[in-house]
Amino acid sequence: MDMITEINKDLLQIKVFANREQMGKAAADDAQQYIQDILSRKDEINVVFAAAPSQCDLLASLVERDIPWERINAFHMDEYVGLDRNAPQSFGRFLDDHIFSLVPFKSVHYIARDEGSAEDLCEAYRRLLEGIHLDIVFMGIGENGHIAFNDPPYADFDDPLTVKILQLDEVSRIQQVHDGCFPSVQAVPTHAITLTIPTLMSADRLFNVVPTAYKAEAVRHLYHDAISPACPASICRKHGNATLYLDRDSARYIL
C-alpha cells in the first residue's frame, strides 16, 4: 500500500495512509508477515482482537489471507456488562460476524458466553489468561484515548489486575452512538469487562488501527502530549514493538 508518511514517536512506529481501506490492508499485510514469522518458531500463538467499526477494514483484509488460523487461539478484548450476548451491539457478536466465525481458529475464547454475574465472568476470564503469553493484540483507540475500555483519567498503567469491571466514561458511551451501535447514549451500557493496560502491553506485538476524523483529537493527544493516563493510548509509545496505522483523517493533527 502507498503510505503518505511514516514517522516515529518515542518507540511507536506510525504509518499514515490516504484512506482507511489502504490502512486496513497495510496493517493486514504487516500482521500476516509477523504471524508467519512467529509460527515458523512456535506451534501456536495467542491473539487478542478488538471489536469496533474502526477494525472492520483490518478484519476484512485478514480473513482473505492465507494464514494458518488453525494454529491461532483467539481472545476477546472487552465486553459490555448486562447486554444480551446475542445482541447486535455485543462485542462477541461483532467479532463472530467479522472474523471468529469466518476462519478456522484453533480456539476462540469469549469474555461473556456463559451465564453468570459480571464478577463471575470477569474472574473466569482472569483464570483463563493466567499463564497465557499474548503474542499479538489488534487494537484501536477510543475518542477519549482509551485502549480497550480503560478510560481516562483513571486508566492504570500499573494495574495489578488482568481483567476488571469498570464504569464507562461518558465519551466512551457517546462514541458508541457515533459508531452507529446504539441509538442514544441512554441505550449504551454503563459498565464493561475489559483487559487491563498491563495485560494489553504484555503482548509481543501491537497493531493499533485508528481511522476517521472522530479519532483525530485522540491521535493528537497520543502524539503531542506527555505519556499519561489522561490519554491511555499514549502508553503505546513505550511498548517497543507497536505500530499505529492511521488514515489521512485521523492523522490530520500530526502531519
In the chain the first and final C-alpha atoms are separated, in Å, by 18
Using CA atoms, how far apart are residues 171 and 86, in angstroms rounded to an integer?
Answer: 25
DSSP secondary-structure letter at 160? S
Q: Residue 151 corresponds to which amino acid? A: D
Query: What is the pLDDT confidence band of residue 128, given thresholds at 50, 70 and 90?
Result: very high
Using CA atoms, how far apart are residues 192 and 169, in angstroms rounded to an integer?
Answer: 11
In the chain, beta strands by DSSP E? 3-9, 12-17, 45-49, 72-76, 78-80, 107-109, 136-139, 163-167, 191-195, 205-210, 242-247
Res. 249: pLDDT tops 70: yes
Could you give the maximum distance between any two Cα atoms of the chain, in Å? Answer: 48
Q: Are 217 and 253 in contact (CB under 8 A)?
A: yes
- Which residues pair with residue 16 across a beta bridge? 5, 246
Q: Domains along the chain?
A: 3-247 (3.40.50.1360)
> Which tens digits make up the pLDDT trace of 43-54?
999 999 999 999
Handedness of CA 9, 12, 15, 20 (dihedral sign): negative
Query: What is the pLDDT confidence band of residue 1, given thresholds at 50, 70 and 90?
Result: low
pTM of the model: 0.95
Coil, strand, or helix at residue 80?
strand
Query: What average pLDDT does the structure give for the chain?
Result: 95
> Which tens digits make up the pLDDT trace of 151-194?
998 899 999 999 999 998 888 888 888 888 889 999 888 999 99
Q: Cell match 502531519: residue? A: 255
Query: What is the pLDDT confidence band of residue 88, given thresholds at 50, 70 and 90?
Result: confident
Using CA atoms, how far apart are residues 148 and 76, in angstroms rounded to an integer?
Answer: 10
Number of residues in the chain? 255
* Order of strands across the sheet that contains 3-9: 3-9, 12-17, 242-247, 205-210, 136-139, 45-49, 72-76, 107-109
Q: Exposed/middle/buried for 131, CB within 10 Å: 0-12, 13-18, 19+?
A: exposed
Pull the grid cell for residue 232.
491511555
Using CA atoms, how far apart are residues 15 and 117, in angstroms rounded to an integer?
Answer: 41
Q: Are 197 and 155 in contact (CB under 8 A)?
A: yes
Res. 143: pLDDT tops 70: yes
Res. 14: pLDDT tops 90: yes
User: 160 vs 164, 193, 231, 254, CA distance in Å?
Assistant: 10, 15, 19, 33
* Order of strands across the sheet that contains 163-167: 78-80, 191-195, 163-167
